[in-house]
Structure 1
Amino acid sequence: MMANFPAMLSLRHLLVLSLALNVSLILRMVYEGDDQQGSNNQNMGRIIQKSRLVIPSTISANSTRKDHAGVMDKIINLDHGDPTMYERYWRQMGDKTTIIIPGWQSMSYFSDPTSICWFLEPEFSKEVVRLHNVVGNAVTQGRHVVVGTGSSQLILAALYALSSPHATEPISVVSAVPYYSSYPSMADFQKSGLYKWAGDAESFNKDGPYIELVTSPNNPDGYTRKSVVNRNQGLLIHDLAYYWPQYTPILFASDYDLTLFTVSKSTGHAGTRIGWALVKDPEVAKKMTKFIELNTIGVSKDSQLRAAKVLKAVSDSCEEEYSQGGEESFFKYSYKALEQRWKLLRVAVDSGGLFSLPKFSSAFCTFLNQESEIQPAFAWLKCEGDIEDCGSFLRGHKILTRSGEQFGASPKYVRISMLDTDEHFMQLIYRLTTIQK
């Protein structure tokens, strides 16, 4: 990536000008690889083609109208982290992840009555362990796998499991600012007598037990995180939803007492609603299982079987790439797609003085076997100067984001999804450049 950086610098002004003048041309070049626009536009077409931002023909046709009013009037909702960017890869996989479930299958509540997590499908558990071993991002030996309906349910299950029913007051739940925006409402929504939200871990000074949520890479800003409070009575939940090679270099296999992962961010299958926890203490795993039992009487077997098929395809792609010289793996494909998106975003942001982005350093990724960049699933964008409410400012340009206030930070910041559709991402780039023009 560093070798391409000088070329990007030399084309920066050309890229910004072209984006600002003609969004339909950009979208058409992305789809068609148009090489009839002269030498300068040929160069830019190559840059964007390499980004894999390929727009479906139906979108391209609608985006190449001479009248751009409709493009500029359309609201781009980048508030959520809906990972539709991954759809193209999985379409290319064809039937590799297709499953057929007979009507008689998965009728029982039970998957394995002898297991602590009795509703955990053995096939899903096997593929979870295999994928972690292939990627090298988590220790699985000596861990119990607990499956949940996404990591959100698992966070609540973990809070329940780590709380004491005999405590005289609810245990404090903290996380360092900027923290994931749903943590406060998750902790307080049910007004539980077991735990309650206590705010920023950096300023937490209450004596006694506490639970710290450590999100790494962090949502929203993408930085690697460690625990902050570090006291004797502290209990940690490591939310590692984004600790995958497309988002951050894999530096080591995480070896924590309780870690959370989810298919929505690892493979993009958010609608499958499957997450998992790797839990060292069997008693904690039992309590988490009990919470899910009381909450939903287990987790959909159908979703687990589909998730197992997807995880298998990912692991297969990794092993085949290196052992048989096959097509690039899911993670390498995703890394390249995000790499080019981040290049385009930084060029757009650097074209003026209204916005800024975090600066990340590269590191050696043990999975990719190369120096790789931190390229988060979200952009933590800051409005500079006298713009105090960045979310409102961008809303005025029909870009919906999530305000920094929801993450315990300043409203000068917003979180923007980097995982949305190709069309929405290119429209974001265009609007950011035109705002600053």
Structure 2
Amino acid sequence: MGKIFHLVSLKHLLLVSIALNVSLILRVINISEKKILHSSSALVSKNNLHLSSSSSLTSFANARIEAQDGEERVINLDHGDPTMYEKYWQQEGDKTTIVIPGWQSLSYFSDVSNICWFLEPEFAKEVVRLHKVVGNAIAENRHIVVGTGSTQLFQAALYALSPQDALEPISVVSAAPYYSSYPSITDCLKSGLYKWAGDAHSFKKEGPYIELVTSPNNPDGFVRQSVVNRSEGILVHDLAYYWPQYTSISFPADHDLMLFTVSKSTGHAGMRIGWAIVKDTEVAKKMTKYIELNTIGVSKDSQLRAAKVLKVVSNSCESSSSEGENFFEFSHNQLATRWELLRLAVQKSGQFSVPEFAPQFCTFLSRDFKPQPAFAWLKCEQEEVNDCESFLRSKKMLTRSGKHFGFSPKYVRISMLDRDQNYNLFVERLSNIISS
């Protein structure tokens, strides 16, 4: 009996000992995990401060992670992610909802009678209608080429406009400050047809050239005309921002080749849909061929969704419509408020400046107003600050340096299209920067 009791006691003691050891091990593991997570969070926060203006969209997303342990949050207004428009589309509810059955959009082809055979007729119809409603471009009796965003259309335009039998690549230029992605997009394929040649203001080479005219301009917001103006020049007009929330609509544009995108017109960057309005039939054919070779067309699903969005926008603009608040009035008022806040912050700080614009009459809104671009072209006025991007990064504000736009690093580009929370925090932090 005593032996049995002794064995049972030893067994109980062994079980208790194992339980205590397991508990201790789990506690150590838990503490270690917390330390690892804490170190990782601190590392993420630290690394976010060193993101350059040429950072990838992945880095951009990571930079939005809030800092830990009470540190100030990094504010990223480098990229023009148009999340400002979320508020409008949320209040519109399911007006832009579409249902696509599983059997729909199986074919590569949309309209074989059209030069752009992958262009959805419904999307083309709504593009023409919206331009007519707004009055910013002539789209009727023109060729419409759809692309996966305006970037693909820009590449298609270079392909279509470049001489196929030239002894050397045609020069591609744009007046500085120019859109920062133009050089990299132009040269990424190292094409033998075309190559980046820099600032149009300093372009002196004889012979044919392609000039990119961005109006209103990204990054500074000014209305642009061509600069080189020689007989052998070919113009591409990037009119992504020629909409009444950004600038006055003075006349319907009617250039040979014009580029537009839903990302800046309605805020739907994730659709990856843009369109070109082209006069010349052969140019439209060559642009279509490029997209055929590049991606064998453009997503039908995205086109159908974009068509629905454009239709809702046009409906909201018609005075007799009950479709809700006018999209462009709403967007215009949002940007007007943001620009007012920015100018007040710049004035309070006394360390910066932004461009001044003259008011112009807008035929769409039927009133005068100053341009309120999608980006602010901010200059650091302090003599001791030669690199404005680095200076603002030290204050945990990420922007894009003027050097990427072929201009002085004393300038930075700031997105005006982020969510209210980020934008308002940026303005507050900017206004509190005073001379050291």
Structure 1 segments, 4+ long, off by >6 Å, are none
Partner of 1:134: 133
Partner of 2:418: 420
In structure 2, what is the Cα distance between the partners aligned to 1:247 and 1:259? 17
Given residue 347 of structure 2, which amino acid in structure 1 is its aligned partner? D
Deviation of the 1:328 alpha carbon:
3.0
Identity %: 70
Partner of 2:429: 431
SS at structure 1 position matched to 2:413: strand
Matching of residues 145-156 of structure 1 within 5 Å: 145-156=144-155
The answer on 1:334 being equivalent to 2:340 is no
In structure 2, runs of 5+ residues without a counterpart are 1-65
String of CA shifts for 1:201-240, please: whole Å, max 9, x gaps: 0110110000000000000000000000010010000000
Given residue 105 of structure 1, which amino acid in structure 2 is its aligned partner? Q
Q: Conserved in 1, the CA contact under 8 Å of 2:176 and 2:199?
A: yes
The answer on 1:378 being equivalent to 2:408 is no
Query: Alignment length, in residue pairs?
Result: 369
Partner of 2:33: none
Partner of 2:230: 231
| 358, 361, 366: which one aligns with 2:363 | 366
In structure 2, what is the Cα distance between the partners aligned to 1:69 and 1:355? 31
Partner of 2:170: 171
Deviation of the 1:141 alpha carbon:
2.6
SS at structure 1 position matched to 2:87: helix
The answer on 1:355 being equivalent to 2:343 is no
In structure 2, what is the Cα distance between the partners aligned to 1:217 and 1:357? 16
In structure 2, what is the Cα distance between the partners aligned to 1:436 and 1:146? 50
In structure 1, what is the Cα distance between the partners aligned to 2:398 and 2:69? 18
Summarize the Cα distance change of 1:343–1:69 in structure 2 as closer, same or farther, 3 Å threshold. Answer: farther
In structure 1, what is the Cα distance between the partners aligned to 2:324 and 2:332? 14
Partner of 2:114: 115
Deviation of the 1:142 alpha carbon:
2.8
- Pairwise CA RMSD of aligned residues? 1.5
The answer on 1:290 being equivalent to 2:289 is yes
Partner of 2:304: 305
String of CA shifts for 1:358-413, please: whole Å, max 9, x gaps: 00011110000111220000000000022100000000011000000000000000
Deviation of the 1:352 alpha carbon:
2.5
Matching of residues 236-315 of structure 1 within 5 Å: 236-315=235-314
In structure 1, what is the Cα distance between the partners aligned to 2:86 and 2:322? 24
In structure 1, runs of 5+ residues without a counterpart are 1-62
In structure 2, what is the Cα distance between the partners aligned to 1:148 and 1:432? 38
Length-normalised TM-score, structure 1: 0.83
Deviation of the 1:430 alpha carbon:
1.0
SS at structure 2 position matched to 1:107: coil
String of CA shifts for 1:318-376, please: whole Å, max 9, x gaps: 01xx2257743000000000000000000000113210000001111000011122000
In structure 2, what is the Cα distance between the partners aligned to 1:421 and 1:368? 25
Q: Which moved more, 1:172-181 or 1:184-193?
A: 184-193
Given residue 421 of structure 1, which amino acid in structure 2 is its aligned partner? R
The answer on 1:316 being equivalent to 2:318 is no
Partner of 1:18: none
In structure 2, what is the Cα distance between the partners aligned to 1:325 and 1:189? 47
Matching of residues 91-106 of structure 1 within 5 Å: 91-106=90-105
Q: Conserved in 1, the CA contact under 8 Å of 2:316 and 2:322?
A: no
Given residue 398 of structure 2, which amino acid in structure 1 is its aligned partner? L
Given residue 216 of structure 1, which amino acid in structure 2 is its aligned partner? S
The answer on 1:204 being equivalent to 2:203 is yes
In structure 2, what is the Cα distance between the partners aligned to 1:393 and 1:237? 35
Deviation of the 1:69 alpha carbon:
7.8
SS at structure 1 position matched to 2:432: helix
Given residue 181 of structure 2, which amino acid in structure 1 is its aligned partner? S
Summarize the Cα distance change of 1:324–1:187 in structure 2 as closer, same or farther, 3 Å threshold. Answer: closer
Length-normalised TM-score, structure 2: 0.83
Given residue 419 of structure 1, which amino acid in structure 2 is its aligned partner? L
In structure 2, what is the Cα distance between the partners aligned to 1:375 and 1:209? 35
In structure 2, what is the Cα distance between the partners aligned to 1:405 and 1:230? 25
Deviation of the 1:434 alpha carbon:
1.5
Matching of residues 10-21 of structure 1 within 5 Å: none
Partner of 2:189: 190
In structure 2, what is the Cα distance between the partners aligned to 1:427 and 1:351? 15
Given residue 78 of structure 1, which amino acid in structure 2 is its aligned partner? L
Deviation of the 1:73 alpha carbon:
1.4
Summarize the Cα distance change of 1:100–1:208 in structure 2 as closer, same or farther, 3 Å threshold. Answer: same
SS at structure 1 position matched to 2:235: strand
Given residue 204 of structure 1, which amino acid in structure 2 is its aligned partner? F
Given residue 340 of structure 2, which amino acid in structure 1 is its aligned partner? K
Deviation of the 1:316 alpha carbon:
0.3
String of CA shifts for 1:76-121, please: whole Å, max 9, x gaps: 1111000000001000111100000000000000000110000000
Deviation of the 1:436 alpha carbon:
2.2
Q: Conserved in 1, the CA contact under 8 Å of 2:312 and 2:323?
A: no
In structure 1, what is the Cα distance between the partners aligned to 2:139 and 2:354? 35
Partner of 1:82: 81
